[in-house]
Structure 1
Amino acid sequence: MHTPGSRSSSTAELVVHDDAVRANTAWFADRTGGHLMAVLKADAFGHGSVARSVVAAGATAIGVTSVTEALAIRADRVDVPVLSWLNPVDADFDSAVTADVDLAVSSTELLDAVSRAAARVGRTSRVHLHVDLGMSRDGAPHDTWAALCTAAALLERHGTVRVVGVMGHMSCADRPDDPQNARETLRFANAVRTARRRGLSGFVTHLAATAATITGVGSGHGLHRIGAGLFGIDPSATSDALVPTLSLTAPVVSTRAVAAGAGIGYGHDHVVERPTNLALLPLGYADGLPRAASDRAEVQVRGRRRPVVGRFSMDMVVVDTGDDRLRPGETVTLFGRGTAGEPTVADWARWAGTIEHEIVTGIGPRVRRVHSTAPAGAATGTAAARA
């Protein structure tokens, strides 16, 4: 028998535990001696407005990718340095310079564009020179680095640019014994020496992100760029100090009893072997549940884990609840801290064959966000703000 429900997909709820974000931030602030740049790119890894929380917990700067993200931080009246490091040559540098946004540059073309914007608005642009250490993506290649430093020194004398940072990124910091770490550390030291020989001085250096900070392979520099770690993710899997910061729940839309041999979802990839009960949840891969986790994932309901069965659909998934017949509207936990036996973001990443970063940044806009000021393990009914 099919029991209809009345809830819609919009009632799935992602709780952001702000206290956990602050706790993780404070841990990194202590570990870095207060030299912490909180990386809040991609809407703070899907967590939304947490800039004020991380600054209150000890972050001394904020990093994002685009100018658009940086300007949003500035609009929130957050009074710490804000760095944007991934922009095309025609980005809105006029607005960035006017708003005192630091800009990373990895080519003379980008540097010239930033310098022209500074001249137009009558300001000096604060720039961080970005060097590629071996990832072959962003950052100036080795054979262009000296020319970039020379051009930056010339523009400093003209007054349109001030070099306040030199930055790089490590490719294998999650594996502290990888010999590539030593090679990239040496390349960065050489790049810094080149910058100084070209007449640049007074800049901060920053190399380490979350993994390099936890493992220590990127130590010895003036800033640490921490993104994933703020949100309970340790790419190196070497620390148990971080606290998960998200919980995802959804209401049961409907339930039904099925006989042995019933197929579930597209293709009937899953066929039940015995009579059982099924519960329908109103979210799917359009909401960020990775389709690759089909027939692998689990959720928690009534204190125990139950399998998600069949292929994930765009808007819905099905849970096999065994002998339990759930009620429409009953809450199911897809992931949380794991302290009560519920699945975690790490579990979902493993089921999907991906990384935790992809899970937390992929939760879609149909899922209601709730920022909770209660401790991360407390009931979400104390949520302070809903969006």
Structure 2
Amino acid sequence: MAHFAHARVDLDAIADNARLLRERAGGTPLMGVVKADGYGHGMLPAARALLAGGAAWLGTAFIHEALALRVAGITAPLLAWIIPPGEPLREAIASDVDLGVSDRAVLDGVVDAARSLGRTARVQLKIDTGLNRGGIGPGVWPSLVEAAARAEEAGHLRVSGVWSHFACADEPGHPSIVSQLSQFREALERADQCGLTPEVRHIANSAALLTLPEARFDLVRAGIAAYGLNPVPDVEVPGLRPAMTLRSRIALTKRVGPGSGVSYGHRYVTDRDTTLALVPLGYADGVPRHATNQGPVLLGGRPRVIAGTVCMDQFVVDIGDDPVEAGEYAVLFGDPTGDPDTPTAQDWARVLETIPYEIVTRVGVRVPREYTGGS
């Protein structure tokens, strides 16, 4: 069945971005992050594209995401890092999923699950170096590392990694960056003193991958950059290509006179005889309601702006006297390589005072993903 709207995902772009980012990181092995349904691009197709592009690891937020990759036949090293109480630790251990450990309760739960299975669990200890979100605080780190070393000696687990996450790597020069790197190195020294020999030590996210060579260690994590969106817009990354294009066919056009209020609240009023085009996408599909009167759209070969309130299922564009007809495509965002007037997810983020991560991940399930490339 043909769909009036879709998010077209270029899998070759994702693979090429992975190659480019690994080259940018000096050949450091790369983890492709596929949480949140591959940042809205589709977790499994994105995972395969990243592996085709040379990613050595995959990363997910939750265990259920990691298990879905295993069920689909993905055998690459895989880390899941948010583990609330009650998560299926046994299934994860049996599926060779590395488990991110951010507190003692998780460590103890992993050890118990491993003991009951008679298997050695793989864990990656996360040190909180200053983000103050997940992770083991510096005051607790020594005792937890010692406990992990004892469990490793007993054969219940293997500490396969030590890692952390930056708070402000997308703000080059921010004083927290130096502080976090220093704390990370201290945490690694403590782990070494306890006899731990992790396979991978990693702290670099996309922003740090692009701007901080000293943060590469054994692995770099490519999240948003793998999908072609630059988390540090002031840093040029030639060749990075947005992988997602969100577009919809026009449902109808109508001619109206001057003084016509458009959409809920009449937040847009026409100032002349003009044509309105109805785009059947709305906030139920991930188009932010905040895009009212400011969301950029390419329509009829020209850049335009949403006219009036974004509704649940639709919004309107004022196209003036241009000869646009129902059935033609409106492009909300995509890759401007072919047409420099094409808005990008970064353009949407700038207008809405947010980040491109939010723009692509909120594209809803009503919008089918169509894939190109990846052969």
Same fold by TM-score greater than 0.5 = yes
> What does 1:190-229 align with in structure 2 at a 5 Å threshold?
190-216=186-212, 218-229=214-225
- Looking at structure 1, the residues matched to 214 and 370 of structure 2 have their Cα atoms a distance apart, in angstroms, of 35
Tell me the residue number matched to 2:152: 156
User: 1:333-354: per-residue Cα shift (whole Å, max 9, x none)?
Assistant: 1111123111111111112111
Structure 2 partner of 1:243:
241
- What CA distance in whole angstroms lies between the structure 2 residues aligned with 1:218 and 1:331? 45
**8 Å CA contact retained: 1:214, 1:239:** no
Task: For residues 203-246 of structure 1, give each alpha carbon's deviation from its aligned partner in whole angstroms, at most 9, with x where no partner exists.
Answer: 32101010001002553400101111101111112123211111
Counterpart in 1 of 2:280?
282
SS of structure 2 residue aligned to 1:21: helix
C-alpha separation in 1, matches of 2:247 and 2:149: 53
Q: How does 1:188-337 map to 2 (within 5 A)?
A: 188-216=184-212, 218-237=214-233, 238-241=235-238, 242-337=240-335
Bigger drift between 83-92 and 233-242 goes to 233-242
Q: Which residue of 2 aligns with 1:380?
A: none
| 2:365 corresponding residue in structure 1 | 365
Q: Could you report, residue by residue, the CA deviation over 1:164-215 in whole angstroms, capped at 9, with x for unpaired residues?
A: 1000011111122112111110000001111111221243210101000100
Is the contact made by 1:255 and 1:325 (CA closer than 8 Å) also made in structure 2?
Answer: no
Q: Indicate which of 9, 13, 23 corresponds to 2:16.
A: 23
Following superposition, which runs of at least 4 residues in structure 1 exceed 3 angstroms of deviation? Answer: none
Return 5+ residue gaps in structure 2 as ranges. none
- Counterpart residue number, 1:35: 29
**Conserved in 1, the CA contact under 8 Å of 2:18 and 2:54?**
yes
Letter in 1 for 2:237: D
SS in 2 for 1:348: helix
- 1:27 positional shift: 0.7
Question: Could you tell me which of 62, 76, 80 is aligned with 2:76?
Answer: 80
SS at match of 1:50: helix
The residue aligned with 2:7 is: 14
Residue 89 of structure 1: how far off its partner (Å): 2.6
Q: Is the 8 A contact 1:45 1:361 kept in 2?
A: yes
C-alpha distance 204-240 of structure 1, shift in aligned 2 (>3 A) = closer
Structure 1's unaligned 5+ residue stretches are 1-6, 375-383
CA contact (8 A) 1:181 1:217 kept: no
1:48-197 superposed matches below 5 A = 48=42, 49-197=45-193
In 1: Cα distance, 2:352 partner to 2:286 partner:
11
Offset, 1:129: 0.3
Q: Separation in 2 of the partners of 1:78 and 1:30? A: 24
Do 2:28 and 2:220's aligned partners in 1 also have CA atoms closer than 8 Å? no
Instruction: Tell me if structure 2 keeps the 8 A contact 1:292–1:351.
Output: no
Shift of 1:305: 1.4
In 1: Cα distance, 2:200 partner to 2:277 partner: 55
2:348 match: 348
Bigger shift: residues 248-257 or 322-331: 322-331
Deviates more, 1:345-354 or 1:28-37: 28-37
Deviation at 1:34, TM superposition (A): 4.3
Q: Structure 1 residues 270 and 221 mapped into 2: Cα distance closer, same or farther (>3 Å)?
A: same
DSSP-derived class of the 1:200 partner? coil
Letter in 1 for 2:261: G
Aligned residues: 368
Once the two structures are superposed, what CA deviation does each residue of 1:86-137 show, in whole Å capped at 9, x if it has no partner?
Answer: 1113200110000000001011110011111111222100000001011111
Residue identity matched to 1:50: A
CA drift at 1:66: 0.3
Distance 2:28 2:232 in 1: 22
TM-score (norm 1): 0.92
Offset at residue 325 of structure 1 (A): 4.4
Say if 2:255 and 2:273, in contact at 8 Å, map to a contact too: yes
The secondary structure found in structure 2 opposite 1:306 is: strand
What percentage of aligned pairs have identical amino acids? 40
Give the letter aligned to residue 193 of structure 1.
Answer: E
Does the CA-based 8 Å contact 1:176-1:217 persist in structure 2? no
Q: Secondary structure at the match of 1:185?
A: helix
Deviations 1:253-289 (A, max 9, x none): 1111111000011111111111100011111111111
Whole-angstrom CA distance in 2 between matches of 1:296 and 1:24: 30
Instruction: Give the direction of change, closer, same or farther, for the CA distance of 1:202–1:350 in structure 2 (3 Å limit).
Output: closer
Normalising by structure 2, report the TM-score: 0.95
